[in-house]
Chain A
């Protein structure tokens, strides 16, 4: 089964970290990603720029509207994602908990829909 781990960070909690602690966690994150990549469980992974760099696109009545910033103002913003291969939801949860970001935000674990055969 494939799962998408959506990493949300809480800016307040993250900013409260001493800089060396943030670097430390980032190093941990990369090391963990490297391990999972090496053993075939991490299929894809990206870190995103800050939410203020986003543009949101909508078409209503054939009218294209682009607004800046993410779709909704929330305390936590989408900071990155991983696509993992796991035996089941509980293994995916375990992998999500192995990244440091669950401590300064949250990680949403979402099954990736299985494409229909053929």
Chain B
């Protein structure tokens, strides 16, 4: 009963939002349908198609709700419209067998009229079914702040009369980019947060991957495939990234035996698929870089020339100072620290990375390799002043202490 409910309720909610055109009505309708299910399913058994049962129960309950509300409410005209819509021919209340309603819901929650943090909150609550408190905990935001963010986001979608639909062909690339950005934000929040800091923390990494899978299943665009590959490959290293003492372990020092082979294999297959698009786009290229690391049996066996070449492509399609910094790290492995240091110094001189702790940490590391110890010390200290994450801070402190 519970598993049937969990599996079908998110999909039913998405359909009810489409049929009723309103988040709150849909949520209330789903709740009523759930109550009805609680009464009927244990006695009569779970229906053959729980999803369509929930949708039609929810729809009838919503019609009652709307009529009742109309008796008391200051009808703003929209409610009457909804009764007509919800009360229409049941044949119009088409069942959505392919999950298009979930896709509509994702695009609606990630609509560009909303600020990125509002998109993230709304997507996690409405698409993934997380509770407000869980999202607030995961993002270290007070619960009332996050609750308000969700209320405002819904109001904004209502006011902007955002159509509840998957965007058309012309709009799709830009709108999909906004969806993928949300998914990746959720992933990164989970991936780079310090491990085990919170006892009851919804696993954002899992949630992001689940969303990524949903997108790929419903809309197998190369960039969606690329993002899923990227997330799987990063996630495959999760257990090797944090040492027994909770400290951060960098890629070259990780125990590759602790990488998750199943995730790597799946990620590699998806990378190949994503790279078929010409020209390859940003997520696909980032995933390809992660794939080169995943394919190296040891750190020494890493194909650095290949990685530098992929960064060159990435800089062409998605230029950013951070990508250029990562390319410099790969150049250090391919050509040695001196040419890489010249690149990092140029990047720092441009100014965009001046406040980015990893730029100074990279510079410190290169100086250390060149035995320019005093300069390395100064650069580590600079990075430490900028770092905000506990495990990273500990890591930099250790490096600083290890200098001769």
Q: Which residues of A contact B150 (CB under 8 A)?
A: 90
Q: Which residues of A contact B28 (CB under 8 A)?
A: 94
The answer on a CB contact under 8 Å between B72 and A28 is yes
- Could you tell me the distance between the alpha carbons of A24 and B71 in the complex, rounded to whole angstroms? 10
Per-residue CB proximity of A31-75 to B under 8 Å, as 1/0? 100000001100000000000000000000000000000000000
The answer on a CB contact under 8 Å between B151 and A93 is yes
Q: Which residues of B contact A31 (CB under 8 A)?
A: 68, 72
CB proximity of B158 to chain A, nearest CB, Å: 14
CB proximity of A14 to chain B, nearest CB, Å: 16
- Could you tell me the distance between the alpha carbons of A94 and B134 in the complex, rounded to whole angstroms? 18
**Interface of A (DSSP majority class):** helix
Q: Which residues of B contact A24 (CB under 8 A)?
A: 72
The answer on a CB contact under 8 Å between B133 and A1 is yes
Q: A31-B68, A87-B131 are in contact. Are A39 and B147 (CB under 8 A)?
A: no
Count A/B pairs, Cβ under 8 Å: 40
What is the size category of the interface that chain B forms with chain A?
20 to 34
Q: Which residues of A contact B35 (CB under 8 A)?
A: 39-40
Q: Which residues of B contact A90 (CB under 8 A)?
A: 125, 132, 147, 150-151
B206 close to A (CB within 8 Å): no
- Could you tell me the distance between the alpha carbons of A78 and B81 in the complex, rounded to whole angstroms? 36
The answer on a CB contact under 8 Å between B27 and A100 is no
The answer on a CB contact under 8 Å between B133 and A91 is no
- Could you tell me the distance between the alpha carbons of A1 and B133 in the complex, rounded to whole angstroms? 10
The answer on a CB contact under 8 Å between B131 and A88 is yes
B24 close to A (CB within 8 Å): yes
Q: Which residues of A contact B147 (CB under 8 A)?
A: 89-90, 93
B143 close to A (CB within 8 Å): yes
Q: Which residues of B contact A111 (CB under 8 A)?
A: 133, 143
- Could you tell me the distance between the alpha carbons of A31 and B133 in the complex, rounded to whole angstroms? 29
The answer on a CB contact under 8 Å between B132 and A89 is yes
Q: Which residues of A contact B365 (CB under 8 A)?
A: none
